[in-house]
Each structure stands twice: as structure tokens, then as C-alpha cells.
Structure 1
Amino acid sequence: MAGAFKGFGQKAIPFLKALDFHQSREWFQENRDLYQSELHEPFCDLVETLTERFEAAKLGLRGDRKRSMFRINRDVRFSKDKRPYNRHLSAILSPDGTKMEQGVFYVHIGLERCFAGVAWWQPTPELLQAMRKAIATKPAAFRGMVSSLKKAGLELDAEDRLKRAPRGFEDVGDEDLAQAVRSRHFVVRHDIDPATIHSPALVDDLVDFTLGAKPLLDWGRAIQGTAVAA
């Protein structure tokens, strides 16, 4: 397979550490070739290798080396933090290959941590409302999804939930459902051992994780269809 992922270079994380220390455009330009060979090009290969594997697994997620990657440059226009570079590199694979879709796979290689996620992140108000309604009115389907995730060793992220029930859902009594309708996002995460990013076996690890997270994708897609139809 042309462009198959062979692993990130051994200097990928050291490069990020050095870039974080210097935070200098001059330093980055002087070391751009190292960035390309150790980090950026392998990441592009990872995206395209995952796209082929996800297609074979019928996961409905794809990307490419142009549209999927987030820039390492930070947008500092509206930030007090004027450091020009991120401490990580990341990418999204989605149903249409863009970053604008919902029900996506995200992968993040950085200094603090390396991880992947499958997410319905910041869904539109209409979709979020439909998801909350589905939780309240079709609890068996929601609980079945949660149970399937648990069998795969995954659980929905509880961070960033509303402190109170959203309007219209105050009467949801069961604790698991009451917690769920307060969610702003529906996300499962998978920590990547930084020692494994230098091996092509990382692909298998990420495919296994995404297959385990498929119940979340399927649940959201079924609701998304009704939200669009409505």
C-alpha cells in the first residue's frame, strides 16, 4: 500500500518539546524538514491508512492528507496566549471527509497526552435536542448503546455536562438518563501509549477502538436521520 503508515519518527515528540520551548517561527522554519519527516508526513499516512481500514470495516469515516489535518499553527487573533504553535498535532476523519461533519473520529499526538476519540462534538441545537429526546423517550436504545460500549471497555465522557436539566427534561427521573440529557457532547476516548506511536501497529489499535465505539456512531446516526427529516 503506497503511503502506508509505518509509525511516527523517533524524534516526533522531541520535536514537539523543542518547538514548545522555542515557540519561534524562525526555529520552526529552520527545522521544518524534521517536522515533515518525523511528524507531519507520518500523520498524513496514518489518516490515509485509517481511511482504507475504516472503509473495509464499513465504519463510514474517511479523510485525506489535505482536509483532515489541523494546522500546528495556533490562531492567536482572539487569544491572550500569543504562542504561535500548538503542543500537538491532530486530525479528524468524518463521514464526508471534512471537519464540519458530526459523528467523527479524532486522533491527537501531543506532549500532554496521545489519545483518540469518537464523538458527536458540539452537535447543532436541533441534533442535540433530538439526542436528548431519544434518551428520554427511547431509554432502552440508549442503555443498549452504553452497554455495548462498556463491553468494549469504553464509557461516555461525563465532562462538560450542564449543572441542571435542560428545559423540557426536568422530569427525567432515572439517574443515568438524567445525567445523560445534561450532556453537551457524546464522546468516548482512548488513551494511546506514547511508546506505541512509532509502530504501524498503532493502526490496529485505533481500528479496534473505533469498532468498539461504533455503537455510539450508530446511535447518533439513527437520531441524526430523524433530526434532519424533522
Structure 2
Amino acid sequence: MLFPNIKKWIFALALSAAPAVHALPVLQLYVEGGTYDVASETWVVTENDFTVWVIGNTGQRGTITGANGLGGVSLVVSTQGGDLANLSITPTLAGCCDVVDPSLAGNPIATLSGTGHHSVLADHGIFNQPGIAWQQFDLGVFALTDSLIGDATQGAWPVDVDGNFHGQINAYHVTMLGDFDFLHFDGFGYTNDGRRYVFAPFSHDAEALPPPPHIEVPVPATLSLFSLGAFLLARRRK
């Protein structure tokens, strides 16, 4: 009997013809003015003063909290060659890319800290290395859907802002004083009333490298003499 097979073929054709639904990560990180490094799959900025976003896909995945519904989304900042006591993170509003960010985040609360391996985040080239120090911050519950969001890794942010994806954007002004080799940012939280662990994929994280040193360009002596001569000549003409 051919009817069951025909039904399977029709069902398969219907699935292939149906428009694909683009699912965004539950959490993403982005750095204003950053460049997406394809090799490391990370948003990178070469500054010690910048703005980082933590983006929650609450429109598709619901409220994002801490484990068992306690606390909120966690941001983990790790560094090598730097002192996290010199790190400052303060709430601000997203300030680029025509993204609407109507809600100011609350102050992040420092919670856990350590070196090397992290108890929740998987090792991914950052943790479990000698000399890596990290500080974890509680960013509060993500439940708002007041910003259009998209997948920043597919081009200039935002990509999928077409009215289909709504979520919450928490933006933070970050300042790191003193020397450091890098600052790396990871985010994680829990959905389904705090029972399902979610994290910003390693293809959607962020990193800051120290700015290049400022090099003073010496003025050639002949140029200095020429400038002085022009100045004296101008005075004589007065």
C-alpha cells in the first residue's frame, strides 16, 4: 500500500517548504565599537574604557534568573595580568547602532571570585589557566521585553531587528585601570523557574584588550626653528 509513504513524502516536503525560524541564543554579549573576531568567535575592543551589553532573549525564552530562581543573570569577568580591584562596572544605556534601550539596569552585585577553574562555566581557553583571576556579578532578573534584539555575530549589530525578536538589554560602562593582558566576559543564568542552565555561547562572548601605548612623535629640530622664525617674523611685521 503506497498511501503511508505518500503521506510521509508530503509531510517532508511541507517541512522543507516551511520558513525557518531563527532562534537567538538565550544570552549574548556585545561590546560597543567592537570588532567580531571570527577566529576566536568573540567581540573584541582595544580599550580600557568601553560599554558592554548583556542581552537576554526573554521574548522567546521567558524570564532568566539565577539557579533555582534565586538571584539573577551572572556576568563573569576574568583577567590575566590585571588586578580586578581596579575594575569598575556601572549601569548605562546602550548608546549605538540605533538600538532602543529604555530601561537602565540596576547596579551589579559582586558575588563569587576565584582563580582558574569556574564552578559553573565550562573551561574554554580562558578558565583553568595559570594566572587567570575572575569576578562574578549578579545582574538581577531578566524579564523585560522592551528592546528589539538580534544576532550580532552575523554582521553589524543589530541584524535581526525586524520586530520579531524582543528581549532585555543591560548595558554597563566598564573601566579597567592599570595594566592587563585582557578582560574576558561570560554570562550565564537559568530559565524554566531556575531549573535549566543557559549561558552566552562562546561564539557570543566579549573581550577587551589594552589600548596601544601612546607614542610621542618628536618634532624635528628644523621644523621647530622654522616655527620660531615664522613667529618672530610675524611679530616684527606688527
Q: Which has the higher helix share?
A: 1
Structure with larger RCO (C-alpha < 8 A, sep 6+): 2
- Rg larger in 1 or in 2? 2
TM more than 0.5:
no
**TM-score computed with the length of structure 1 as normaliser:** 0.30
**TM-score computed with the length of structure 2 as normaliser:** 0.29
